Amino acid sequence: MNKLHAAITGVGAYVPGYILTNEEISKMVDTTDEWIMTRIGIKERRILNTPDSGTSDLGSKAVEDLLRKTNTKPEEIDLLICTTVTPDMQFPATANIISDKVGIKNAFSFDLNAGCSGFLFGLATASKYVESGQYKKVVLVGADKMSSIVDYTDRSVCPIFGDGAGAVLLEPTMENVGIIDTILRTDGFGRIHLHQKAGGSVKPASHQTVDAREHFIYQEGQPVFKYAVKGMADISEEILTKNGLDHNSLDWLVPHQANLRIINATAERMKLDKEKVMINIEKYGNTTDGTLPLLLWEWEKKLKKGDNLILSTFGAGFTWGAIYLKWAYNS
Ligand code: UT7
């Protein structure tokens, strides 16, 4: 008997209009366009600079785009999951705020935080609800206003991140398309290299934490880079071979966009041609939970039903993983 699969049946996205260029960053900190392009591969990133706007504003615009494109009414949605590391507030969940803003009334919603692997872990989670047969229309939205936790006086971090959001609709299908296989990993030890020092229950906000700039991203670039290259390449290769795929039968690699050198190392390990690797880091930087859906959104028209895709990520936690899916529709 055929198994019920969860298939992506639409993609929506939103990036804010303001473009922060390397030239502008070079005026804030001691850096150059040449250094950023060579070491990271980013030319510009989008910034949400509208006052009193947050992650839910990015996420709700992406969900509105998704609902419009898929001709879906908000009332039809059964579940909305938002993956983010920059929630509007500690509570309630940004997912609830997005649902409220777009008029999703007949659903439950919650947030999921898995660092830069959030969207991938969210896709694995959302697909299980769909495969259970109980939920017919599930929205997964990855959204981050990274500019709210980036220290624009720290040259080792500020060129990397940008703001953005993307959303997918997941629906059940009996066809052999959709999410086929999932490998997810975490290693909490990695938190020492990448975290936000204050603002949580261990160190609530105080004058001291603000003065010490502890509400921004703390990242030790080199160890994170080392673990990211190994983690993403290993797991991408693992899911490839586990599913009997190779560089010929795989159509697309959809890698997290943290550093072009990490993406290239992963593609090389998989012996993949450049043409099969989705890359938009140059335009958007690392949007954390936005990277994977923004890639799918940009490449949507090129994707064909039955295409083999591997999505892979590495991020804070540490968290890493890969998903093998067969694309479910032609645009
Ligand atoms: O998505 C979440 C997971 N995060 C990641 O995957 C990020 C992984 N790490 C990286 O992408 C890289 O480590 C960075 C982009 C963060 C840094 O690149 P790097 O090649 O590892 O540089 P580095 O930290 O080894 O620094 C090399 C030099 C240092 O100078 P000295 O000590 O050699 O004189 C830094 O101070 O480059 C300096 N540097 C810069 N120079 C110009 C650091 N940032 C900059 C900058 N402009 N923006």
Residues 114/84, Cβ–Cβ less than 8 Å: no
Q: 0.85 cut: is pTM over it?
A: yes
Structural domains in the chain plus CATH codes: 5-178 (3.40.47.10), 180-326 (3.40.47.10)
Residue type, 327: W
Q: From the CA of 93, how far away is ligand 1's center (Å)?
A: 33
Q: For the residues 265-292, what does the mean pLDDT come to?
A: 96
Residues 56/94, Cβ–Cβ less than 8 Å: yes
Q: How confident is the model at residue 291 (pLDDT cuts 50, 70, 90)?
A: very high
Q: How confident is the model at residue 204 (pLDDT cuts 50, 70, 90)?
A: very high
Residue 65 pLDDT > 70: yes
Structure tokens given for 269: 């390990």
HEC string for 54-81: CHHHHHHHHHHHHHHHCCCCHHHCCEEE
- Adjacent-strand bridge partners of 314: 320
264 — phi, psi (to 5°)? -65, -40
Residues 97/103, Cβ–Cβ less than 8 Å: no
Structure confidence at residue 274 (pLDDT): 93
Residue 1 pLDDT > 70: no
Structure confidence at residue 2 (pLDDT): 76
Q: For the residues 2-31, what does the mean pLDDT come to?
A: 97
**Most informative mutation of 156, 193, 286, 287 for ligand 1 (most atoms within 8 A of CB):** 156
Structure tokens given for 328: 């479910």
Q: Which residues line ligand 1 (CB under 6 A)?
A: 31, 35-36, 39-40, 116, 155-156, 159, 221-222, 224-225, 228, 258-259, 262, 286, 315-316
Residues 55/88, Cβ–Cβ less than 8 Å: yes
48 — phi, psi (to 5°)? -85, 105
